[in-house]
Amino acid sequence: MRPTASRKHLSEELEDLNSRMMEMSSLVTTSVENSVKSLAKQDVKLANKVLKEDDKIDALELEIENKCMQLIALQQPLAGDLRAIGTCLKIITDLERVGDRAVDIAKIAKLLAGKPLIKPLVDIPRMSRLAIEMINDSVKAFKTGDSILAWGLGERDDEVDKLCGQVIRELLSFIVEDPKKTSDAFNLIFVASFLERIADHATNIGERVIYMVKGERVKIN
């Protein structure tokens, strides 16, 4: 195969790799959204859907990982493309873990279904929306090579952290007032912590994007 033809083939393979990762990102963010929705609406059917979709996310991660390894082994990518492939391998690990946190939230939704929540959910859905936006933008930054967009994730991560702290303080006050609410309160604290961790995964992806684009290892959260 002539060098130009080989290079064109690699470019096509990388584009397909990007598409598969965008598909994985979409599955993951949908799972996060549905997990919090299942909690708010006490929808066991929706929670079970999140659990089922996790198998698809895991399978897609493995497919993308295998494709990355094949590209490295067979296409001999140059430095820039090699860094992009390596970054993709790291990103899908973060996305898979985001999917795991969605599963954790769905399990709590099932546990709390059938009885009134100890408080209306306000900040937890806000955290969910912010975290989902962060995941979407982190993957977009990878696809477009936008290091500025990646840097901006840090500010939103701070906002998620503040909301998490606010939720925890409020729920701890419920426990002080009525120790019988301890179990339910801690389950919601876990949900807030899982969402905070999802935002952290988004900043991890942002840091990897900056390394891919600029060759600099940074901390943005």
Which pLDDT score is estimated for 10?
A: 79
Answer whether residue 220 is part of any domain.
Answer: no
- The domain of 121 spans 3-214
Side-chain half-sphere CA neighbours of 170 within 13 A: 16
Q: Record the pTM.
A: 0.93
Q: Is the pLDDT of residue 61 over 80?
A: yes
Residue 219 belongs to some domain of the structure? no
Q: Is residue 138 part of a domain?
A: yes
- Over the stretch 114-128, which tens digit does the pLDDT of each residue have? 888 998 899 999 999
Q: What is the 3 state secondary structure string of 188-210?
A: HHHHHHHHHHHHHHHHHHHHHHH
Q: Which two three-digit tokens encode residue 151?
A: 């840097």
pLDDT at res. 4: 54
Q: How many domains does the chain have?
A: 1
Per residue in 81-114, pLDDT (tens digit) is: 889 999 999 999 999 999 999 999 999 999 999 8
CA distance to 28, 78, 137, per residue, from 87 (Å): 18, 14, 16
Domain membership flag for residue 198:
yes
- Report the distance separating Cα 98 and Cα 200, nearest Å: 10
pLDDT of 6 reads 62
The tens digit of pLDDT for each residue in 123-182 reads: 999 999 999 999 999 999 999 999 999 999 999 999 999 999 999 999 999 999 999 999
| Mean pLDDT computed over every residue of the chain | 93
* Residue 190 resides in a domain: yes
Is 173 inside any structural domain? yes
In a domain, 97, yes or no: yes
For the chain, what percent of residues have pLDDT higher than 70? Answer: 96
Side-chain-side CA neighbours of residue 44 (13 Å): 6
Would you say residue 11 lies in a domain?
yes
Which range of 11-15, 70-74, 188-192 scores highest in mean pLDDT? It is: 188-192
| Spatial CA neighbour of 156 closest among 207, 221, 205, 101 | 221
pLDDT value, residue 154? 95
Q: Which pLDDT band, with edges at 50, 70 and 90, does 13 fall under?
A: confident
pLDDT reported for residue 2: 45
Long-range Cβ contact pairs of 160-165 (< 8 A, separation 24 or more): 160/127, 160/130, 160/131, 160/134, 160/195, 160/196, 160/199, 161/196, 161/199, 163/123, 163/126, 163/127, 163/130, 163/192, 164/127, 164/192, 164/193, 164/195, 164/196
What is the CATH classification number for the domain harbouring 197? 1.20.58.220
